[in-house]
Structure 1
């Protein structure tokens, strides 16, 4: 029996620029107790375990002393918060890995000598799985069970409203001319009020959109729609459309284009970019931003596109 027979091939992994809070969430959900960190070539460069996160937590004040075991028993652990720490500060590096053809006794020896509970499996340089110590022990005892691990996961758009007015009377031609002038002034006043109301309404909408967060259900729906686009023969999919005013610079960086445009995103678009960076970028997907309409010559709506075709030169 070799590593490929033992490994869990359904496992999470991240790149070194992933958010530490996101990695902590992955650890809590995956059940494998570790999340490998990989480079652009999918070579393992580190690994994060629960013990890494525990060491990164703020320690209790010295004068409080240790908390008694009976108080800790069955008590849920507090949610981990990165508090500005980077993944590279917390992960164990370099990562120790084994080839997919490594034999069970050799795996056991490596894990024992390095005190490892789980170890990445590579094919060439690329990570393809994760082996747990308990499964190695089972295999050594000859009682290796069939492995069946859980699978993982798989969203929205944006718009605005409007108003009116009028009147008349009669007398001399001069009075009629005065009525025309008054009417034109009234129309200009109404246009100004409409512009102000539209601006205020849009500003309120932008504030609401900036505070909205992307839900897991919306993200899964986005990816399902992208899958349907691929099934239809398309090489890209519009993930989310939003007013360019939702960007901190009104969409200028996207329109330029400036490579720092992701830093201008707010609300759901910022969450979509973050989910792409954490989950889809390591799996070969690319993302692009574009202003897709220009009402009155100014940037209107922007959009984020998910792409899976080979990179263009």
Structure 2
């Protein structure tokens, strides 16, 4: 067994400019009893324990004296009030660490030589975990230092993630990236759903025919437009995809655009050609919107402007 297999991966850490009272709060919330201090490269440069904080505690007023130990028994630890110290003044430095590939005997020797109860684990120079002396002793007693073929299986219960963990900025960036991927997937799904609905609507429109009642209603609405002083009226509006060329001929404009019409718009054009064109009415087609720069809806306009 090596340090990487035994180490605790979830722990808080701070830089040397952290507030001492903040470090005290981390120590009270975490169960490993130590907060490592790292530099910008996440290399351990020191550690802070409860004993380090005691040296930074504001001195007790002389007229009060120390509180007798029997009065503190079974009571909650008092709120920490730091004195005029910076974290780098009270931390233990340098931080004695072990390599993530160190074997149990090597870890035990380092901890024994330096009288450590806890030791940072580094991968290269980067802090990646912590090993506790009690877990090293337990692993050795369980046979963790034996050769692999003689080593009994040792199951170490993973520590639960708790509220005292401190994430890295990289973890936060990964969370942002994951959120953006989810949003993009949702947008893609919405676009796909809209496209499917539009295709279904186009299929329905292509099969739809203009009834006599609908034609009479279109002409009645055109008459109302003329009564209101208008010189033209929109007879019908439809998706440009209803045209066999997606509306390109209408947008060009190409004089053969009527040949691209399907469904009800084709019927409207034929009724105009047969009934209204001989009476002096004109018809025009136009793309009336361009979502994302592409032809959107098209429309057919009945026109009667100018003097007869």
Rg bigger for which structure?
Answer: 2
